[in-house]
Structure 1
Amino acid sequence: MNRSLMAKQLAFGWLHFALALPSIYLLLGMPLVLREQGWSGTQIGLLQLAGLPAVLKLVMAIPVERYRLGGGGYRAWAGLLGLLLGLALLGLAYDFPLAQPSRFYAWVLLISWLATWADVPVNALAIRCLPAQERLRAGGIRSAALFLAAVVGGGLLLVLHQRAGGAAPFVLMALLLALGVIMLCGRVVTAEAEKEPEVLAVSERGDGGAMGFFHQPAVGVWVALLMLLFPFVGAGWVYLKPLMLDLGMPVEQVAWWVGVGGGVTGALASLAGQRLARGIGLGRAVPLFAGLGALALATLGLVSHMAAGQSLWLWGAGLIACAMGALSGVMFGLMMHFARAGRRALDYGLQASLFTLSRLAVPVLAGIVLDRLGYPAMFTALALCMAAVVVLALLGSRRLEAVLQRP
């Protein structure tokens, strides 16, 4: 990979990190703090619904695709939304109403909405700027950036919260986001003035809108996997930190072992997973990574049933972090491939909306199972669901290999 492509990959990686960090801290890091404050499993599960704006990414993509703010297009949209997100983070730092769940939900919903909207033009710009052969690598880098955000948001910011108070993490996130906006306005990310010749052709066929996405080859298999590969593994990860707290592990130790350690493991698995997928092909890689997720959840279910020691729990946490990293990298790469020329933002928004529908529903259901039946039943149910996904991946994932050959 030449220096120009490397600079683009790293720039977009930082932008993904800066945009993902607030949501990760609020939805994955804060449950530990909220559990310490006495919030129930159901309340923590309901907090995940603050990510509901991601279901509407398709709606958010429409103005991004249609209107060019000041002639800047995707870049201008990302800059404006990033600025508003930074202001919202500073607002929550000033208020921080942990004792008023409804008010706290409102702040989290606003931040999640702005971060979600900003994600659309950033990803559309990445898809436009990076060549087709770099998309699977870009998916791995994006996934690694999200896991590094998990290291910071699910670990280091929790330590900062414990030592410097609740406002400090939000001020730091606003500063990191400001650096991302500065990078966006620089010349590392190439200009998007070029026109894509496919736009007219797509419009003339009459499938230039959102429904045209479903006219692509193998899209049915991809949509099913898009909605099912990640949410069961993701739900297990959401409840891992509260579980460790319930087992008596100190808050800061959970932050270091699960937040930092799990995040680093997931980032490395993202980079290794995309390399493996490029080597053995998606037909083998997708079922393999899904099987790793089922194994991780089954391990956590068995360990919780046995009431095993801390070391076995950490092994289970490592397995689930590896599965999440490997699955995320492949999925993000495929999302880029299924975004049509001239409809980058629209198709990315549609896929992200479908992904979020299942990702948000499963943690809520898992929280209800947790409150009524306990951790062993919750992890066992998630493992059985993931095993069914493995079967689906074995039956359909080979059809996706041809996608990598498309421009």
Structure 2
Amino acid sequence: MTGFANQRLKTLGLLGSLYVSQYIPLTFIYEALPAFVREQGMSLEVIGLLPLVALPTIFKFLWAPAIDRYGFTRWGHYRFWIISFQLLAIASVVIAGKLDLEGNFLLLLVAMFALCLWCASQDIATDALAVAVLEPQERGWGNGVQMSGNYFGAVIGGGGMLILLDWWGWRSSMLVLAALMLFALLPILNFRESRCQKPDTSQFVLLDLVRFCRRPQMWRWLVVLALFTAGPMMANTMFRPLLVDIELSMTDIGLLLGVASYGAGIVGAIAAGFLISRLGRRRSLLVFSSLRAICVAAYLLPALGATTLPVLYAIAMSSQFTNSMAITALFTLMMDKSELTTAGTDFTLQTSLVYLGGILAAPFSGLAAKGFEYEGAFLLAIALSIGSVVAIAGLVEKGHIHPNPPLATLSQQIFPKK
């Protein structure tokens, strides 16, 4: 029994290392890179092109069926893809580090696009592996590890890389980033993945996406996914310029959003992993989403003039804490809705829809703030957050979210209990 427990801890450690390693470069692109190239004198118009390199993280569901179907199974089906994409990502970081930013910004965009492509593709394989190796009753903890890994990777890739860039410059910092990603490969190199049944490769790969969407009552679940991050994303998008407008320094903003907020997210993910197994899936999702909506409503306080640092820290940390809990519960249910033979496709399609809903909603926060000040933007975010809770409550009432999913068998084959 002790040996089995140790094996499960190693599995959680494996998943944690993979999620940390793939989120470090993504957060670097989102948060550290724009600030650094601006300091190098890059124009705002050019910097505005940076978000385009993240397109693979949204549309990765399009090639997820191919990763489910094809691979070098002698190395382990998903293990092969994870190692391959991680090595390609490391190569992209090393190449980017050798570029002279002043005269090669277009090449930098290409390298960063490739980096996002490899990280997004690795995420497909990592999520599929997580679905396979986690027992249903372990998925709360597993997704807590996932979210904690994401937030820890964000601390390193955002604030950590900015500090390194300030101290050591571009080339040395990128080599450190590559070394961190290479080090994160060690757990997966020591992991042995058993063979598993894969989808029929004679059929068109995109049919897997169609089959998922055509499952009974799936459209209701897809609506929940599309609404889930819209409200919090709108609030977070406007919170950053609000902090600038009230004249917080870059250091203050970095500590508030890059350290304290993400740190609260790590704690929230761990707390959610502990509570989901006790409250159940559907109760956890409903409770955590309701708490998150309350925290989104708190963004009105600084918009109305409550701008002391204790208030701002309380808002940022509680928002990230409850958002991390809610997403952990959601991802646990998303795993339950993923078939073992098409796990990469099913889970990736759901995550893409979650993030796409938030990305599409974010621009409306700017329009609302322009027309109705920050208060208008936050009121719209509150309305969408409440709408998400109502949609979730409707699924629970109709019985479309099950508290106790059927047990999977694949992870039992990989880690048989003795």
TM-score (norm 2): 0.84
List per-residue Cα deviations over 1:317-348 (Å, max 9, x = no partner).
Answer: 11211122112211221221111021112212
Q: Aligned to 1:112, which of 107, 113, 116?
A: 116
List per-residue Cα deviations over 1:279-333 (Å, max 9, x = no partner).
Answer: 2233332232222222222211331232522321221111211122112211221
What's the counterpart of residue 97 of structure 2?
93
What's the counterpart of residue 325 of structure 1?
324
Provide structure 2 residue ranges, at least 5 long, that are not aligned to the other structure: 408-418
List per-residue Cα deviations over 1:36-58 (Å, max 9, x = no partner).
Answer: 67989998776444322123222
DSSP-derived class of the 2:185 partner: helix
What's the counterpart of residue 382 of structure 2?
383
What's the counterpart of residue 402 of structure 1?
402
1:62 aligns with 2:65: yes
List per-residue Cα deviations over 1:149-190 (Å, max 9, x = no partner).
Answer: 122223222222333334444332211211222321213xx3
1-side partners of 2:190 and 2:326: how far apart? Answer: 32
Which amino acid in structure 2 is aligned with residue 337 of structure 1? D
1:18 aligns with 2:21: yes
What's the counterpart of residue 252 of structure 2?
253
Which amino acid in structure 2 is aligned with residue 252 of structure 1? T
Provide structure 1 residue ranges, at least 5 long, that are not aligned to the other structure: none
Which amino acid in structure 1 is aligned with residue 132 of structure 2? R
Shift of 1:12: 0.8
Shift of 1:15: 0.5
DSSP-derived class of the 1:209 partner: helix
What's the counterpart of residue 309 of structure 1?
308
Shift of 1:270: 1.0
Gap change, CA 1:132 and 1:226, over 3 Å in 2: same
Which amino acid in structure 1 is aligned with residue 121 of structure 2? W
TM-score (norm 1): 0.86
Gap change, CA 1:174 and 1:58, over 3 Å in 2: same
What's the counterpart of residue 128 of structure 2?
124
Contact 2:280 2:404 in 1 (8 A): no
Gap change, CA 1:8 and 1:332, over 3 Å in 2: same
Shift of 1:104: 5.3
Where does 1:1-400 land on structure 2 (aligned, <5 Å)?
2-33=5-36, 47-69=50-72, 71-72=74-75, 73-95=77-99, 97=101, 105-187=109-191, 190-195=192-197, 209-216=208-215, 219-306=218-305, 308-370=307-369, 374-397=373-396, 399-400=399-400
Contact 2:22 2:123 in 1 (8 A): yes
Indicate the percent of aligned positions where both proteins have the same amino acid: 21
Shift of 1:238: 4.6
List per-residue Cα deviations over 1:184-226 (Å, max 9, x = no partner).
Answer: 1213xx3232447xx68xx99xx97222223545533322222
Which amino acid in structure 2 is aligned with residue 172 of structure 1? V
Shift of 1:110: 2.4
Q: How many residues align?
A: 400
Contact 2:235 2:296 in 1 (8 A): yes
2-side partners of 1:338 and 1:98: how far apart? Answer: 47
1-side partners of 2:107 and 2:374: how far apart? Answer: 29
Contact 2:228 2:354 in 1 (8 A): no
2-side partners of 1:98 and 1:299: how far apart? Answer: 42
Gap change, CA 1:3 and 1:27, over 3 Å in 2: same
DSSP-derived class of the 2:299 partner: helix
List per-residue Cα deviations over 1:10-57 (Å, max 9, x = no partner).
Answer: 111110110111112221444555676798999877644432212322
